[in-house]
Amino acid sequence: LEKNAKQIELINFQRKRLESKQITEEEYKKEVGKIKSDVNALMVLIKSDDKAKFKNLIDILDEMQICNVGKYAIVDIAPAEKELIASLETGMQGGAQ
């Protein structure tokens, strides 16, 4: 939310304009679309491993809506990232013993 504060502020402004009937629903959607697709808007990369559950992906997509993130991509996790996760998990298991 902190990284997307500017877009949230702009969207809230447009929402207030809609609620006070200054703009139509169609105009509101158009303005929100512009705000979310702005070149400076937050971009989120969503990556998961083979152990991820479908429900987790749905929850993440819900969060993108809640946080007004308009630019996100679901991408494959890189082999190096898988190795990093595995080494972190191994380190945590070793430290717990």
What is the residue-averaged pLDDT of the chain?
90
The pLDDT-based confidence of 95 (bands split at 50, 70, 90) is low
Q: Are 41 and 4 in contact (CB under 8 A)?
A: yes
Q: Which of 43, 64, 61 is nearest to 52 (CA)?
A: 61
As to burial, measured by CB atoms within 10 angstroms (0-12 exposed, 13-18 middle, 19+ buried), residue 7 is buried
Rounded-to-integer distance, Cα 46 and Cα 73, Å = 6
Residue range 76-97: average pLDDT?
81
* Whether residue 31 has pLDDT greater than 90: yes
Q: Are 9 and 42 in contact (CB under 8 A)?
A: no
Q: What b/e string do you get for 18-31 counting C-beta neighbours within 10 Å, with b at 16 or more?
A: beeeebeeeebeeb
pLDDT tens sequence across 46-80: 998 888 899 999 999 999 999 899 999 999 999 99
